Structures are given as C-alpha cells and as structure tokens.
Structure 1
Amino acid sequence: MKDIQFPAVSYDEWKEQAIKALKGKPFETLFTNTIEGVTLQPLYTKEMLVDKLDEQLEQQISTIRSLKASDTFNIAQQIYGETSEQFFSSLQASIEKGNDCITINSLVSFSWNDENLTKLARFLSENSFKIFVENENDPILNVFSIIDNPNIEGFILSNEPISSINFEKVKTAAANLVPYHNDGANAVQELAIALALANKYAQSVGDFEKFTAQFFVNFAIDTDFFSEIAKLRAFKVMWKAFSQAYGMEEATKISVLAESSLRSYTKADEFVNLLRAGNEAFAALIGGADYFTVHPHDCLTKPNDKSMRIARNVALVLKEESYVENVLDASGGSYFIETLTAEYVEKAWALFLDIEKAGGIEAYTHSGELQSDIDKVYKNRVKAVATRNHSLIGTNIYANPNDEVPADTHAQFADIKRLAIPFENLRVNYKNLQPKIAILTYGKLKDFKPRADFVEGFIATAGIVPEKSGELQSVEEAIAWLENANYDYVVIAAKDEDTRLLVPSILESKLEGLLLDAAGKFKEEQEEWLGKGLNGFIFAGQNIVDKLSEILESLKEVQ
C-alpha cells in the first residue's frame, strides 16, 4: 500500500468527468445557491482558495486559532422543572452528571422567592452559569445580592446589558443572536447583527476595553453543518477587524456561547430532533464554540429527566469521544470551509457597514428594514421546506402519518417561527376532518409504484394513510371501483399514457362530490381536464402545504 501512488488530477480533468456523469445536464446544476446568497462550488481546490484569499489565508487561520476564549467545550445544560423541588433536583443531577455551566431561563412556573433564591445562590457560588432574564427588574437577579463570592463566573443574557451586576467575572453585555435566528435570519445577517450590537454597546460604554470585559455572543446553531462551522469561525475574523477599528492591536478573546437551533425542531417525530441536535452540537464543537446547550428533543412540549439526560449525553459523547478538542481548529485549512468562512466575512462585514450607515442597529430596527430583511429570508425557508428543496426529515419527507402532534407548547419556545409549524397545523386539521382518501393505482405494480409511493408520501405529511385500489387492469374496472368505494378524495397514480387513457373516461362518469386529482404534470391536457371536473394535480416540486390546504378546504365544502 505504501508504494501505491495516485496520479494528480486537475480541476479541468475532474470537470470533464463530471460532465460525462451528468449525462447531458448542464455542469451548472452542480452549483448550489445558499440562503445567504453564496454559491457553493461542487469542488474546492487549493488553487481556488489561494486565489481568493492569497496572503489573507494565513491571517484568517491564525486569527481563528488565537481568539478561542476557552480551552474546552463547556456543556451548558438548561434546567427545567414545573416546581421548585423538581427544578433544584434537576439542577443538582445535571452538575453531578457532567454539566459545566448551569443554564436557566428565568421564565419558570414557580416564583423566585427568598427561599428559592437562597438555594440558587449556593449553586451559582460554586458553578459557572448562563441566565436568561427579561430585563433589569427580573426577580431572579436578586440572587446576586445574596452571593458573597466575588469570583463567581457566568453570563447574563438580556435584550439590553444589565448594569446592576457588579461581579468582575460575570459578563452582562450579550449580542444574543438567538431571537433573530428563530425569526429566520441567515448566517450573514446574524454575523452583521452581532457586530452592530457590539458597536452599540461599545459606544454606550465609551471605554472599549471596559466594554470587551463584559461582552459575549450567543448563537443558535442550525442543521446546515458546514455553514454553521463557517459562521462561528467568521465571527472571530470579523471581531478582530472590529477591534482594530477601535484601535486595539490585539483583539480580546470573546466567549462564544451557542445552543441547538429550535427553528428546525418538530413536535411530530420528535426523536429526529436528537439527530438534529447531535449534528448542531458537532458543528459548534468544530467551529470553536466555548459553551453549548443541547435542547432536549421534547423541549417544545415537556422535557423530562430522561430527555434532559439524553441531551446532556449528546454533548458529553461528542466532547469526550470525538477527540475534536485534541485538534487545534479541526476544520482549519479545509479548502471549502476556509472559502466559505471568507465569503461570510465579506458579506457580513458589508451588511454591518450598511447597518451603521443607516444609523446603527436601533435605527435599522426601528425603520423596519431589519425585520423586513429577516422576513424575506424566513419566507424563503418556509417555501424551501414546503417544496422539499430543504428536507425536514419526518415532516416534509419520510413522514410517519401515525405520529401525533402534541397540543401543548412550552411557554419559553412558543414564539419561535419553526419551519415545521405549517405541516403540524395540517396534521391537526386533517385529523379533525377525518376525510376518506385513496390512491387509484392502474396497471402493473412496477408501472404505478413510483408514483403511488410519491403520492402516499405526499399525503403522509398531513398525517393521512391513504387506501390503495390495487392493480386495476381496465378503465371499466377503475370506474366500477370508484363507484363502489366511498371516498372523499382520490388520486390517480399510473404511467403517463395510462393516465391519459383513464382520466377522460373517469371524468365522464365521476361521482358528485368526489375530489379527484392526477399524479404527474400534464401541461397539454391540463386545461381540458380541469374544465371537465378534475380537481388538480400532484407532482414533485409542488408546494405541499398550499396543495394540501386547498384540498382540505375543498373537502370541508363537500362534507
């Protein structure tokens, strides 16, 4: 094996082979446009990377490696509990079983009275922490008047910096990007907003060094693995440039906190959230996050001891068994990730300057332009999921129709614009209506199976298991089956030529009130068939939510 050598292959030679493999499709079909406006290449080479960054490549890599604030990947598990007893029991168990940073959202179902604050003070005196609060007047902040240990370490997250905390190692000025992320923001927007918030806080303090001693960032990490790695790396590059703009020769290391993204979490098939969380945690680990929170797979409804344990163990396994921590900047030098990092820096810095030209983050927000930009991205995300250009496993593809959608939503996460919500609403509405749905399959199994499977998967996203007619061999048999069956909605699944034979005959004798669709695109016959009573068509690339919503409204009218 040591004597085997592979010949060097140029990009042009690879491209030639790729074009042959595409069998007539344009080479450009291998390029992918991301939601950030970045075009991903099918292959990255050293020459392409050097051409793009040249001397800046070494600076980019050294900056990222020198600005990691922590030597380890700290696990920051959020504590849950319906009662104070459950909460503190869960808190104690998390510390004993590997939690490095106590993470608390002050919006709990019990009150922060003197007794509970005294208990909490003991934990915060001995452990690092991350606490989400509403504002300066949040009752949980009274805990800091009880603590007498001046060396406590932690982070306080709020919409505005908290000025009432006077502990040197407790950071209180956060660029919390999670709300923007949950509204749909892309990586470039998050990075630009992070610096815009930093600029706002730095100007309000007046002393940049004093400001950096209190500043940190909090990101949400989505399922787009390489994009999220590049996002975390890009922040460090941008932070150095930002610090230099304030006259700092050496940039201060800023703590990067992160958590699993909940906009990709689902209520139906909730165990898929485990896969999402593992993917996101691994991206954060490679990207250089200092603290990471894995949200339990059932946190949207009601997390329990088991789900919290699993969430904690996701991070523990990655930390202890991936050995990523043994490598300095594990993705450093990757032609793809270094290029993507540089493109994010370029685009995010330009957006940051636009925000500042508009008067800063507050003026940009009050003008409505920020929310408008994020809303555009969110709508594109929803459309991509609805048309299956973006896969949400268990929701818009490989959906299990038997999954139930829990009615309850955890109060802390009720306002998140989750991508699965339109599909979850479909499931609830179809369950309430209980329509009788079937697929009319014509010809031999091998002929109709691809389309029948597609239609079955399409309808399954609404939580419906359609019945099937079996191998109908003649037009008369198909018409007789329709007349004898009592269905509200039927989809014809057959080969193109068989569908063209079937549909006109069936429409001539179609039962009153029966909603009938055909699987496939039939542009030439479309107008004629619709005029004779066909409801419509089901095909790949269609907006599933819009189509199933239209069917639902039609079924309501019929019933």
Structure 2
Amino acid sequence: MPNHLFEEFDAVSEKAWKQKIQVDLKGKDYNQLLTSTDEGIDIKPFYHRDSHQKLNIPSPSKWLVTEKISLDDFENLEQPVSQGSEAFWIKSNTPFTHTKLPLILDVKQPEKFNFEFRENLIYKFDPIHHLMQTGNWYSNKKQDINLYQSFLDKTDSISIDARLYHNSGANITQQLAYTTSQLYSYFKELNFNQTKTLNLNIFCSIGPNYFFEIAKLKALRVLVNTICKHQNINYNLNIISEPGLHHMSIYDYNVNMLRSTTECMSAILGGSNYVCNTTYDKIFKNKNQFSQRIARNQLLILKNESYFDKVSNPSDGSYYIDYLTNALSEKSLKLFKSIEKSGGFIQQLFDGKIQHKIDEQFQKTLKQFENNTLKLIGVNVFENEDDQMKKQIEKDIFPKMKKRKTLLRPITERRIAKQLEQQRLPQESV
C-alpha cells in the first residue's frame, strides 16, 4: 500500500499516548495498569516505537517436525517418514550410522558409548543434568568431565538439557540463568579448539505463557552469544524444544492438546530448530499410536496448513516481544553473574541454593493455582466434576523418589495439578 495514503495522519508519540490514557483513567493511577510477573518484569498496557530497542537475533531458516520413537520403531522408519516426521529422537546406545535422517540420540550409557561425528546427528548427553536429576555423577566429577572432553573432541559439540528447570517449577528468568550457568560451567571445565566451530545443542521445555516463551528462546540466543563471545568461541546453536509437563493434568486431558499446540507455536516462533510435540495423555497412559499420531498431526497442521514454515523470523519487529526479550536477557544475565560470584553453578547445586530457589518459585506458583490467579482450564476453572479417571490410568502418575545416597539433593520434575489430582482421585465413584 502506498505510504502517501497515511501522510494526512500525524504520528502520535509514546508520551502523547500515555497522556491520553491518564486522561481516560480520570485520576486513577497509571501504574495500576502494569502487571507484575514472577520474572520480575512489569507488563505495560502498550508498547511504542519511541522506546523500542530493535534486536537482530538470528533465526533458523527451517524447523523440523521431530518424533520420539523406540528401538522397534527405528527398524521401520518408512512409515513415520511417510506420515510427515522429519527428524527422530531415540534413547539408545546404538550409533545408527546407516541412516542419514536427522537424529537426536539420547545416550543411555555414555561411559560405554563410542561417540563420533556425523551430519544431522545430535547427542543428548549432559553429565551436569544427570547430576541435578539423580543427585550423583555418572562416575565422579573428574571421570565425567574427562568423558565429556572426549565427547567434545570427537563431535565438536556440547549438549545442555535444560528441560528440568521448567518441569521442576523454575520461572523463565531462572530457566535462562541456570541454562547459561550450566553452559558456562562446561566452558570453565573443558578445553576448546578455538579454530573449530562448536555445535551447541540446547533442549528446552516450553510452557503456556505464549509471548514469554517466544521471548525466552530469543533471549536464550542472546545469552549464548554473550557467553560465547566472552569465551572467544565460534558456535552454531540448535534449539530442540518440546511442550513441558509442568502444566498438564489428567483431568479434562483433551485440554492438554490445546496447551501443547500453543506451546509448539511458541517454540516455532521463538526460533527452535527441532520441535517435538508431547502427547496429550503422556502423564497417565502408556505410549500408543493414537496419541502419537495426534501429536505429529498438530505439528503438521502448524507447518502445512497454518504456514508456520513460510517465514524464518515471524516475531521480529514486535515491540512487545522485543521488550520481553531484552528484559529477560538482562534479568537472567544479572542472576547468572550473581551465581558466578557465589562460587559458580556446580557449587551452588552442592550448597542446595539452586534447589531452594526453584522450590520457592514452585510454592509461589502453587499458591497462585490455589487462589485461581493461575488458571488451568478443566482443572481449577471450568472443571468437570463428573470426570472419572481411575480406570484410564495405565501407569504410576505420582512416582515417589527412591531413597538412596546422593551427593546433593536432586531437582525433581513436578506438576502443578498433582495435589488436586491426589485429592480428587480417591473421591471418584468406583
């Protein structure tokens, strides 16, 4: 549309908009329109070009529909490929050198695995994540770091599994700061070949806070660039995203499909390279073809019918998202620096400080859920009191932590709806 059509309209400054809002408020405080968040960021009622800080964040030219499969599925990949899957995520100790398809290999026993470089192959191997999740190293710190050094030397890559932070209840600022600190811990422990390009693979869980999750992934690229630049490391970053389990529930479980759809949208718009959907019934049913097909089709609809693959940087230029990206980057970098001043990430894990901060945030979120400030459709609002779930549950949905000797207190995954489910299930009619 020709620009001269708008010449008769004068530009309205941010100051003028704010003055107009204050007039319309008729004496009420403008600050009452600000919304405070757990990330320490105030959401304003409007955003304007006058205060916009333009960002130049690289975004992948494409994203791949990724599916988790079993070893049995791997023997017959023609079917999922014909159904639209473009990359596969498998847990195994087999290198699978006979396929050239994009592959994410979740290594079960890294101490026995023979790592090697191959195009389109990403290893999910992260000793610090294992330490956080189990409370112990695979062997001990020295051996694990030596193994990771060998992994780096053979593959020119580092993998960071950051999904635990979201699924245990950390807010977005914490997720970003802890992911960055985890990466920096490896930078301090490992020796790098400065002449080579480092392949960074970061695994992320996505929540339902739509715009914040888009900004989270963009801020992650900003923070990674800051750390790598500081360390003089040339890098290539792959972000592998999937919807988290933190906000999912067994009650009105079909709503999980809506949650995972918007979460996949955030993952795509935020700049993920691989997007793997979570099945809507994962928390209470065993793996089944029906829910796998639904999860795959959600991504295919976004890609082929909603055209989410036509633009590589669709969120660029949004004043709101750029504001959130800047704010999250600054808040997370500040927290990252405080962690480093206090002995570093691994030391803070052994001191229990990281666990304590996540626990505090989780308890805060639980209170928001209990007083309906945080709404989960079908769970604490618009719930179906006649919903019966006892007979549909196929696995333990409330796993208990086995008591064992650990070096530190593990960080555990937990769902917001768990307590409510524990109260409702015994009350169901048999």
Calculate the TM-score normalised by the size of structure 1.
0.64
Distance 1:23 1:399, change over 3 A: farther
Q: Distance in 2 between matches of 1:267 and 1:210?
A: 50
Distance 2:85 2:210 in 1: 24
Unaligned runs of 5+ in 2: 129-144, 401-411
Paired position in structure 2 for 1:351: 335
Asked if 1:156 is matched to 2:124, the reply is: yes
CA gap of 1:430–1:335, structure 2 versus 1, over 3 A, is: same
Rounded Cα–Cα distance in structure 1 between residues aligned with 2:229 and 2:78: 43
Alignment of 1:310-329 (within 5 A): 310-329=294-313
1:197 Cα offset (Å) = 1.5
Q: CA deviation at 1:301?
A: 2.0
The higher-RCO structure (CA 8 Å, 6+ apart) is 2
Superposed CA deviations along residues 372-391 of structure 1, whole A, max 9, x for unmatched, are 11111111111111111111
CA separation of 1:77/1:37 partners in 2, compared to 1, >3 Å: closer, same or farther? same
Q: Does the C-alpha gap of structure 1 residues 188 and 21 become closer, same or farther in structure 2, counting only changes over 3 Å? A: same
Report SS of the residue matched to 1:254. strand
* Amino acid in structure 2 at the alignment position of 1:376: E
The amino acid that maps onto 1:264 is H
Report SS of the residue matched to 2:69: coil
Question: Which structure 1 segments of 5+ residues have no match?
Answer: 107-111, 435-559
Partner of residue 334, structure 1: 318
Q: String of CA shifts for 1:124-170, please: whole Å, max 9, x gaps.
A: 633222233455247xx57x79xxx9556222233357649879995
Using the TM superposition, give the Cα deviation of residue 330 of structure 1 relative to its aligned residue in structure 2, in angstroms: 1.3
Given the alignment, which residue of 175, 179, 188 partners 2:160? 175
Is 1:205 matched up with 2:190? yes
Among 417, 421, 425, the alignment partner of 1:420 is: 417
Q: Residue 220 of structure 1 aligns to which amino acid in structure 2?
A: S
1:47-98 deviation per Cα after TM superposition (whole angstroms, max 9, x unaligned): 122xxx4xxx3xxx22x12xx4x43111221125xxx65x457855322212
User: Hey, what does 2:258 align to over in structure 1?
Assistant: 275
Q: Indicate whether 1:78 and 2:68 are aligned.
A: yes
| C-alpha distance in 2 between matches for 1:343 and 1:152 | 34
- From the superposition, tell whether residues 412 and 221 of structure 1 become closer, same or farther in structure 2 (CA, over 3 Å): farther
What is the CA–CA distance in structure 1 between the aligned matches of 2:419 and 2:182, rounded to whole Å?
32
2:349 to 349, 362, 365: 365
In structure 2, distance between residues paired with 1:134 and 1:382: 33
Q: Which residue of 2 aligns with 1:121?
A: 96
Superposed displacement of residue 27, structure 1: 3.1
Measure the CA separation in 2 of the matches of 1:412 and 1:422: 10
Residues 380 and 290 of structure 1, relative CA distance in 2, 3 Å threshold = same
State yes or no: 1:95 paired with 2:77. no
Number of the residue aligned with 2:284: 301
Report the number of matched residues.
396
Q: Can you list the C-alpha shifts for 1:256-292, whole angstroms capped at 9, x where unaligned?
A: 1111111111111111111111101111111101011
* Distance (whole Å) between structure 2 residues aligned to residue 225 and residue 388 of structure 1: 19
Q: Write the distance in 2 (CA, Å) between the matches of 1:354 and 1:32.
A: 26
Larger CA deviation: 402-411 vs 297-306: 402-411
Note the C-alpha offset of 1:431: 2.5
The whole-number CA distance in structure 1 between the counterparts of 2:207 and 2:100 is 32
**Are the counterparts in 2 of residues 221 and 260 from structure 1 also a CA contact under 8 Å?**
yes
2: CA distance, partners of 1:8 / 1:193: 42
CA distance in 2, matches of 1:208, 1:351: 29
> Which of 181, 193, 200 does residue 178 from structure 2 map onto?
193
**Matched residue type, 1:175:** I
SS at match of 1:175: strand
In structure 2, relative to structure 1, the CA distance for the partners of 1:273 and 1:20 (3 Å cut) is farther
How do 1:357-436 and structure 2 match up within 5 A? 357-405=341-389, 406-409=392-395, 416-431=413-428
In 2 relative to 1, CA 380–411 (structure 1 residues): closer, same or farther, beyond 3 Å?
closer
For 1:121, give the aligned amino acid: F
Counterpart Cα distance in 2 of 1:295 and 1:171: 29
Is the 2:280–2:291 Cα contact (8 Å) retained in structure 1? yes
**Shift of the alpha carbon at 1:25?**
5.8
CA-CA distance at 1:204 after TM superposition: 2.3
Q: Aligned with 2:68: secondary structure? A: coil
- Alignment partner of 1:216: what SS? strand
| CA RMSD of superposed structures (Å) | 3.3
Provide the secondary structure at the position in 1 that maps to 2:428.
helix
CA distance in 2, matches of 1:89, 1:310: 22
- For residue 266 of structure 1, what is the aligned residue in structure 2? 249
Secondary structure of residue in 2 paired with 1:77: strand
- Highest CA radius of gyration, 1 or 2? 1
Cα shift at 1:240:
1.7
Q: Distance in 2 between matches of 1:240 and 1:315?
A: 29
Alignment partner of 1:154: what SS?
strand
Taking structure 2 as the reference length, the TM-score comes to: 0.81
Q: Quick check: 329-338 or 224-233, which moved more? A: 329-338
Q: Report matched runs for 1:221-240 at 5 Å.
A: 221-240=206-225
SS of 2:236's equivalent? coil
Letter in 2 for 1:75: V
Decide whether the 8 Å contact of 1:91 with 1:102 is kept in 2. no
The Cα of 1:345 is off from its aligned counterpart by: 0.9
1:76 partner SS: strand
Are the structure 2 counterparts of residues 125 and 104 from structure 1 closer, same or farther at C-alpha, using a change threshold of 3 Å?
same
| Higher helix proportion | 1
Question: CA shift at 1:199, angstroms?
Answer: 1.5
What SS class does the counterpart of residue 127 from structure 2 fall into? Answer: coil
In the TM superposition, residue 231 of structure 1 has moved relative to its aligned partner by: 0.8
Change (3 A) 1:135 1:265: same
- Judging changes above 3 Å, is the alpha-carbon distance between structure 1 residues 166 and 236 closer, same or farther for their aligned structure 2 residues? closer
Query: Post-superposition, which runs of at least 4 consecutive aligned residues in structure 1 deviate over 6 A?
Result: 164-169, 410-414
Q: What pairs up with 1:473-552 in 2 under 5 angstroms? A: none
Contact 2:149–2:190 (CA under 8 A) maintained in structure 1: no
% same residue: 27
AA at the equivalent of 1:296: T
Match of 2:49 in 1: 46
The residue that corresponds to 1:132 in the other structure is 106
Paired amino acid for 2:202: V
1:152/1:329 CA distance change after superposition, 3 Å: closer
